[in-house]
Amino acid sequence: MNITEKILSAKAGHEVTPGEIIEIPVDLAMSHDGTSPPAIKTFEKITDKVWDPDRIAIIFDHNVPANTIGSAEFQKVCREFIKKQNITKNYIHGEGICHQVVPEMGLVEPGKVIVGADSHTCTYGAFGAFSTGMGATDLAMVWATGKTWFMVPEAIKMNVTGELNDCIAPKDIILNIIGTIGIAGATYKTAEFCGDTIENMGVEGRATMCNMAIEMGAKNGIMEPNKEVMDYICQRTGKTESQLNIIRSDKDASYEMELDFDITDLEPQIACPNDVDNVKGISQIEGTSIDQCLIGSCTNGRLSDLKDAAEILKGNTIDDSIRLLILPASREIYRQAIELGYINTFIDAGAIICNPGCGPCLGGHMGVLSEGESCISTTNRNFKGRMGDPASEVYLSNSKVVAASAITGTITNPKDL
């Protein structure tokens, strides 16, 4: 059996098979300020008490601080529900993006089943958990019962080999995979990432790759935990490695498909408007003019992303025609970036530093694009109108490319600097 089948079998109490419908208990249910209100509305039609307030996490991150009357009202509804249901242990407002702060809080462990009313909940597969997004109605039922149903997914094994060069990052690997398989190529499948490159990859890069599994339609992205992941989890949870439920795929596990990706000669990858699978090597589009650059989001707002950008921006100034926005993914990362001098480097270069949160990724808060404008961003989606006006355009890349592009005013390969 593969890792996903093993996790679901343990929860179901019997050996599961792909295509089987199962009902299982969940370990954590997460939502944010955008998805909690509709879930609350449905929940209150079902019952008046959640199954376990300590297994529910509600994170304010999409429109924080509130920027419209509507978002303020949404957050008020959430606060009243949180108080009524005593969801105080895992209630976070202003600490950062849900997919970053939930692992920071020690709520993610290998072998757990985690659901969230946000499509990028698949991020937690980086820690060896089965983790997936769901709609508000399904989440309301989880709040009420502590259970949900799944169809056991088929699995695609993605074997990645080769070493990262100085100009690429894990973001380029996942963009290359999505460009190869397509936005619907893994629909309702498990995307299991493995190979030497994955085994040697750090926590942050792994989170980036699993975060974007949904962009090829996958039900979940998942990786077997390596030593760095286990050390991270032990630090956050206070547990020892022997106390963790480490689950690995059998060597003879069956997969619907196996794909090999060699990144040895990979150049920076750019997802061009208006689909995440419209991926091209940077050599095909360098020199394209842009108006805004963005470094942040649940995909690439982590410390390694800020480090990569700071190394390029240090001693440089952004082009007069460019707005460069930087949003650390959490308060913890923001503090570390201050201590390491990255924030001063960004300010000296002319960047705008924004508070931790989702912000412009979904066109909801700060950095919204007007008609005809274009942005190169480290976020995860570039759909039409994603960051503002339907006639605007979004390009996706790693933080090194965004930083280099901010200096020149056009899409630029970092090696050219």
Residues 244 and 291 in one domain: no
Last residue of a domain, one of 227, 261, 295: 261
Residues 300 and 253 in one domain: no
pLDDT, residue 310, reads 98
Residues 209 and 337 in one domain: no
Residues 278 and 195 in one domain: no
Residues 279 and 254 in one domain: no
Last residue of a domain, one of 230, 261, 292: 261
pLDDT, residue 363, reads 82
Ranges assigned E (strand) in 117-161: 130-133, 147-151, 154-161
Domain range enclosing 61: 3-261
pLDDT, residue 349, reads 98
Residues 245 and 352 in one domain: no
How many Å apart are CA 257 and CA 276, to the nearest integer?
22
pLDDT per residue as tens, the chain (417 positions): 999 999 999 999 999 999 999 999 999 999 999 999 999 999 999 999 999 999 999 999 888 898 899 999 999 999 999 999 999 899 888 889 999 999 999 999 999 999 999 999 999 999 999 999 999 999 999 999 999 999 999 999 999 999 999 999 999 999 999 999 999 999 999 999 999 999 999 999 999 999 999 999 999 999 999 999 999 999 999 999 999 999 999 999 999 999 999 999 999 999 999 999 999 999 999 999 999 999 999 999 999 999 999 999 999 999 999 999 999 999 999 999 999 999 999 999 999 999 998 888 888 888 999 999 999 999 999 999 898 989 999 999 999 999 999 999 999 999 998
How many Å apart are CA 131 and CA 150, to the nearest integer?
12
DSSP 330-353: BHHHHHHHHHTTHHHHHHHHTPEE
Contact 334, 417 (CB under 8 A): no
Last residue of a domain, one of 226, 261, 296: 261
Residues 212 and 253 in one domain: yes
Distances (CA, A) of 323 to 103, 290, 295, 319: 31, 10, 11, 8
pLDDT, residue 124, reads 98
Please choose, from the candidates 176, 223, 165, 298, the residue with its C-alpha nearest in 3D space to the C-alpha of residue 7: 223
Which domain CATH number covers 360? 3.30.499.10
pLDDT, residue 63, reads 84
Residues 237 and 350 in one domain: no
Contact 400, 308 (CB under 8 A): yes
Residues 45 and 112 in one domain: yes
Residues 247 and 285 in one domain: no
Residues 209 and 103 in one domain: yes
Q: How many domains does the chain have?
A: 2
Q: Which residues of 265-285 are buried (b: 16+ CB within 10 A; e: fewer)?
A: ebbbbbbbbbbbbbbebbeee
Q: Which amino acid is at 96?
A: G
pLDDT, residue 214, reads 97
pLDDT, residue 365, reads 85
Residues 255 and 279 in one domain: no
- On whether the pTM is more than 0.75, the answer is yes
Query: 285 is written with which tokens?
Result: 């589009």
